[in-house]
Structure 1
Amino acid sequence: MGRFQLLERRLLPNYQFGPTDIVVTIGQDGLVANTLKYLEGQPVIAINPDPGRWDGKLLPFEIGELQSAVTKTIAGKSACKTITFAEAKTNDGQRILAVNDLFVGPKSHTSARYLLSWNGREETQSSSGIIISTGFGSTGWFQSILAGALGVSGSESHPLKKGFAWHEQRLQFTVREPFPSLTTGTSLVFGAITLATPLKLESQMPENGVIFSDGIETDYLAFNSGTVVTISLAATQGQLIV
């Protein structure tokens, strides 16, 4: 069918994928999300190597279906799902993408301080950080935060309790444990990021501020005093063959 390159997961961040490549992942759901982040829209065929052990919500194929899936993809006859990514850009030119979630906050168990600007409003806040979720990630970390909020408020339902669609042109931000004080507020703790309403954060932390994506804490951008980050929908999108 063409040239074949076996790639170990640890080499993903530095591998140069070609524009016409077809990428096959063999592993659990987390591998799919981590791989999509390093692509520029190339199709991904996700293989579940052990259906008896893993549910594999993001793994629609078994190994015996690989040849058929690749053949259809080459011929342009495969169905695919589009996945919206989140993008964080800093004022010094750094950039990071997220397939599931972005985290902005403290590196350790301390409070983050920052100025939050969104939808024409701004507020100085102190919290344990901000989670920005994509539709792809809206059934993961986002749901645990939502479940906690519903439990505290005594509610049983929420419009986003089942997440939102992978392809939706939106992200959802949630402020974790916002602290009200004389100098910090809690009125902007939950909202949708769209093309018209990006989220901007200006760090007020002298040290230990970070921005990382998809739970990979070792691959991060520094978010310390003087850093301004804008979080928006990424131009890059993922393509998962189904």
Structure 2
Amino acid sequence: MSSSRGSENKIILIKRKTRLEELVVRYNTIQQAQFYIERLGADFSDYLSEDFQYRKAVETAVTQLSAIGRLQVLERQHVPNFIFGAQDTVVVLGQDGLVANTLKYLHEQPLIGVNPDPLRWDGVLLPFRVKELGQLVPEVLRGQRQVREVSLAKVELNDGQSLYGVNDLFIGRRTHVSARYQLELNGVQEQQSSSGIIVSTGMGSTGWLKSVLAGAAGIVSRAAQMQTEDAERTAAALADIAGVSAGRGLAWDHPELYFTVREPFPSRTTSAELVFGRISSKLPLRITSQMPEDGVIFSDGVESDYLEFNSGVEATVGLAEKTGRLVV
């Protein structure tokens, strides 16, 4: 990365609406929003405080970044359709979810996670403060900051559409109605009816995957079957499971994904054996939808940005060809 990079690229500042701004969009005025919140017995002053702190952080970030180079401020909702330049540097003004939901749309541009309100947010993915940007960003532009690689998940449909996931992918029904599909891994096929499939990355291993493992008694049985199929892979899998269950999680650049099936229902036409497993670049997971309507695939909890997954559509899930790059 050359020292001239700062003159060639843009700095993209990603921000979001505060809870107060979202309420005003819904109820038209602050007064009406206040009436709604206080009628529910909540503290409206907390909404005002959060909004004030975030606006102050945005103003400070804009001032500092504008002094460094070309700056473009981008609202969260425009990120999926925005074309990032290859030499852009991206600054995300937290929370953690905003970092994850930005990272999957990048193509290895460095991302800087900034905590706008450290007293409010812990920010695992937000190691920096707004006041540090003036020194931090020039160091990133000069290639003087360490960057941590993050493995991503990718799902590709047989109609050409694709979607990336930083923490996880969900494959199932839009509603709580059971999802029907055929699952295939390593040549083994199974008809299933369940509450959907979760595919987790290393970064996402302390989230949805951890909660599923905590109550997945069927995994013990599946692990025993895997023991006879491939002892080496099973030993590694059990070590990973133990780490996740103990709260340690997996490395963010973990070279495999894990899938879990939520609440599989065995019947005369459906089974519940292939409910857990590892996905690698050489061993993808294939899922064929048998849902006439409302089948969806979305990532990182953003249900509004989804792929339709209805009858006949086949999804192939594996490691993405790109990685995320978080500045640390």
Regarding TM over 0.5, the answer is yes
- Quick check: 1:75 aligned with 2:159? no
Distance 1:12 1:129, change over 3 A: same
Q: C-alpha offsets along residues 154-194 of structure 1, whole Å, 9 cap, x if unaligned?
A: xxx83432321110111110000011112111111011100
User: Please, what TM-score do these two structures have when normalized by structure 2?
Assistant: 0.70
Structure 1 distance, partners of 2:105, 2:151, is 14
- Quick check: 1:129 aligned with 2:196? yes
Distance 1:49 1:151, change over 3 A: farther
Structure 2 distance, partners of 1:110, 1:201, is 18
Q: C-alpha offsets along residues 110-165 of structure 1, whole Å, 9 cap, x if unaligned?
A: 11111100022111111110000111111111111112226998xxx834323211
Q: 1:158 is matched with which residue?
A: 242
For structure 2, the residue ranges without an aligned partner over 5 or more in a row are 1-67, 221-240
Q: 2:286 is matched with which residue?
A: 200
Structure 1 distance, partners of 2:219, 2:180, is 24
Structure 2 distance, partners of 1:152, 1:198, is 19
Identity %, equivalent residues: 56
Q: How many residue pairs are counted as aligned between the two chains?
A: 239
For structure 1, the residue ranges without an aligned partner over 5 or more in a row are none
- Quick check: 1:170 aligned with 2:273? no
Runs of 4+ off more than 3 Å: 150-153
Q: C-alpha offsets along residues 82-112 of structure 1, whole Å, 9 cap, x if unaligned?
A: 0111111101111111111100001111111
Q: 1:120 aligns with which of 187, 191, 208?
A: 187
Q: 2:98 is matched with which residue?
A: 31
Q: 1:91 is matched with which residue?
A: 158
Q: What amino acid maps onto 2:242 in structure 1?
A: H
Q: 1:236 is matched with which residue?
A: 322
Distance 1:169 1:151, change over 3 A: closer
Q: 1:227 is matched with which residue?
A: 313
Larger RCO of the pair (alpha carbons < 8 Å, separation 6+): 1
Give secondary structure in 2 for the equivalent of 1:55.
coil
Q: What amino acid maps onto 2:268 in structure 1?
A: L
Structure 2 distance, partners of 1:159, 1:191, is 16
Higher strand share: 1
Q: What amino acid maps onto 2:286 in structure 1?
A: K
Contact 2:219 2:276 in 1 (8 A): no
Give secondary structure in 2 for the equivalent of 1:52.
coil
Structure 1 distance, partners of 2:85, 2:219, is 49
Structure 1 distance, partners of 2:305, 2:77, is 12
Contact 1:110 1:128 in 2 (8 A): yes
Structure 2 distance, partners of 1:51, 1:143, is 26
Contact 2:243 2:250 in 1 (8 A): no
Q: 1:66 is matched with which residue?
A: 133
Contact 1:85 1:234 in 2 (8 A): yes
